[in-house]
Amino acid sequence: MREILEKIRSEALRALSESDAQIEDLRIKYLGKKGELTAVLRGMGALSSEERPVIGQLANEVRASIEKKIEELSQFAKKKELEQRLISEKLDVTLPGTKVPVGHPHPLSLVQKQLEDIFLGMGYTIVDGPEVEYDYYNFQALNIPKDHPARDTQDTFYITENILLRSQTSPVQARVMEKTQPPIRIISPGRVYRSDAVDATHSPLFHQLEGLVIDKNVTMGDLKGTLELFAKRMFGEDTRIRFRPHHFPFTEPSAEVDVSCFMCGGEGCRFCKNEGWIEILGAGMVHPNVLRNCSIDPEVYSGFAFGLGIERIAVLKYHIDDMRLLYENDIRFLNQF
Ligand code: PHE
């Protein structure tokens, strides 16, 4: 039995040492349940009681030496495999990465940001207001009582008789004046709603930016100066502005404001329909009734307000001939900004 054990040991160690040894197969062959060493150990019952411990010890030694060899070899194999992987998976950190497409602001956001920057630069504060608004702030506080014909041009979506989707950003004027005593100098950009059918120049949802200044001795001259500066910043230093008389219930006097055509400089071209002027906003001196409605004394304070459509500025600035493009989210359109 001793010889058999020695033979198993030397054979096993030799077989394991061969370069292309299949370690797992050899482990089963020698140490497995049906392996050679196990077979020898099974036969130990036939040994005498003196021989049994001696052979038993030898068998353990043989098992231990084979196990040790197997352990060594598998460690080595693992190390080699790791080395192989490190070579084959070599990473060149200087290669350009996979490009992840990054989005960018929508043209309407771009224009809104630019408008905000211009007015922030003049010391205005940005104020938000609710899009679901009371009839009171959207109309009544702004000198547009129920049944006033001016409501027709701003027909909107009603939630209840007295709650509606705001048809203009002007209700923010009323909300601010109600809470704050002058001096007030704010802009309020945001979404507004009107029940208009969609076409190249109309949408039931669009964006406005309202401006409001209230203080002592604010005059129409201040309004003109402010809008002239705004127009130059927005459309270029050569831009001139022109006021045309108009009517808004919440301002008196009121005006529609044009800028000189920034394509032809005012000579008349296709862009300005040969007018030389392009309408961009509505403005005026805040009506005393509006001041009174908001607990501001019109004998002490005066102010101006203006409101513009952000879509209108965007289509002019980027020469977009159909407003619907701004809402369709066609990536071929949006990528151009
Ligand atoms: N809110 C007006 C509109 O939507 C615009 C405007 C605002 C006019 C402020 C004058 C002063 O038509």
How does pLDDT run across 11-30, given as a tens digit for each residue? 888 888 886 768 888 888 88
Scored b (16 or more CB within 10 A) or e, 252-261 reads eebbbbbbbb
Distance CA 109, CA 125 (A): 18
Res 180: pLDDT: 94
Residues 112 and 42 in one domain: no
Residues 116 and 17 in one domain: no
Residues 59 and 149 in one domain: no
Residues 190 and 250 in one domain: yes
Res 19: pLDDT: 65
pTM: 0.72
Q: Which domain holds residue 277?
A: 107-334
Lowest mean pLDDT among 32-36, 102-106, 172-176, 329-333: 32-36
The encoded tokens of residue 238 equal 């050569």
Residue 218 or residue 102, greater confidence: 218
Residues 231 and 144 in one domain: yes
Res 301: pLDDT: 98
Mutational test site, ligand 1, from 210, 280, 287, 304, max ligand atoms within 8 Å of CB: 210
Last residue within a domain, chosen from 56, 88, 120: 88
Last residue within a domain, chosen from 88, 123, 158: 88
Q: How confident is the model at residue 326 (pLDDT cuts 50, 70, 90)?
A: very high
The count of domains in the chain is: 2
Res 188: pLDDT: 98
On whether residue 126 sits in a domain, the answer given is yes
Calculate mean pLDDT across residues 122-147: 96
Residues 32 and 60 in one domain: yes
Residues 46 and 126 in one domain: no
Res 166: pLDDT: 98
The enclosing domain of 248 has a CATH number of: 3.30.930.10
On whether residue 77 sits in a domain, the answer given is yes
Calculate mean pLDDT across residues 60-86: 86
On whether residue 148 sits in a domain, the answer given is yes
Residue type, 109: S
Tally of CA atoms within 13 A in the half-sphere of 305 that contains its CB: 28
Residues 144 and 293 in one domain: yes
Question: Is omega for the bond preceding 105 within 30 degrees of 0, making it cis?
Answer: no
Residues 52 and 147 in one domain: no
Burial (Cβ within 10 Å: 0-12, 13-18, ≥19) of residue 146: exposed
Distance CA 137, CA 187 (A): 16
Lowest mean pLDDT among 50-64, 138-152, 153-167: 50-64
On whether residue 198 sits in a domain, the answer given is yes
- Ligand 1: centre distance to CA 308 (Å): 7
Res 55: pLDDT: 83
Mutational test site, ligand 1, from 191, 206, 250, max ligand atoms within 8 Å of CB: 250
On whether residue 101 sits in a domain, the answer given is no
The closest residue, in CA terms, to atom 4 on ligand 1 is: 168
- Ligand 1: centre distance to CA 190 (Å): 13
Calculate mean pLDDT across residues 249-270: 94
On whether residue 218 sits in a domain, the answer given is yes
Calculate mean pLDDT across residues 238-259: 97
Residues 240 and 140 in one domain: yes
What's the chain's average pLDDT? Answer: 92
- Ligand 1: centre distance to CA 170 (Å): 7
Distance CA 18, CA 12 (A): 10
Res 21: pLDDT: 67
User: Do the beta carbons of residue 193 and residue 133 sit within 8 Å?
Assistant: no
Residues 41 and 112 in one domain: no
Report the atom number in ligand 1 closest to the C-alpha of 192: 4
Scored b (16 or more CB within 10 A) or e, 32-41 reads eeebbbeebb
- Ligand 1: centre distance to CA 123 (Å): 21
Residues 125 and 192 in one domain: yes
Pocket of ligand 1 (CB under 6 A): 168, 170, 210, 248, 251, 282-284, 305-307
